[in-house]
Structure 1
Amino acid sequence: MGEARRRAAQGLPPREPKSTRKSPDTSPRIVPWLPLTQNQTRSFVAVTTRGAWIGIGAMVLFWITVRFIGPAAGWWSLADMP
């Protein structure tokens, strides 16, 4: 028996649909004429900081590969090494 029929047979009201809407951002705006809130700016800073650290890590990994792993594996030789 389906959920709707079971609830009707028991005299219960229909189930309320789940709310999938996000609650609106009620944090104050940075400036009144700009549609950016403080929560949005914090989120932006967090995302860009994480992206910067990922970029730094990728650059270090690339440098280690070019400077040490590539020459040690014989893939290439560095110009400054005899």
Structure 2
Amino acid sequence: MGEAKRRKEALGEKYGKDPYILPWVPITKKQAEQFVNWTTKGAWVGIGALVAIWLTVIFIGPALGWWDLQ
């Protein structure tokens, strides 16, 4: 009997399913990785938006006369 068959018999119904991060938390490791990927992309989008707003306030705003910084 090979290792895969022994593992299949030992795990039973759980064989081939993604493992949970912790037994009492119903989040799989794959879902946790997807969450990290989404939040990382969201953080970069937020940083980009912050830079765009900053550039608008610092350079474009005064050029259009929105703020008088004298």
Aligned mates of 1:70, 1:36 — CA distance in 2: 46
Q: Gapped runs of 5+ residues in structure 2?
A: 1-16
Q: Gapped runs of 5+ residues in structure 1?
A: 1-25
Match of 2:63 among 55, 72, 77: 72
Report the TM-score when normalising by structure 1. 0.61
Q: Which residue of 2 aligns with 1:28?
A: 19
Report the TM-score when normalising by structure 2. 0.70
Structure with higher strand content: 2
RMSD: 1.6
Structure (1 or 2) with the larger CA radius of gyration: 1
Match of 2:46 among 55, 58, 66: 55
Structure with higher helix content: 2
Hey, which bits of structure 1, 4+ residues long, moved more than 6 A? none
Shift of 1:74: 1.9
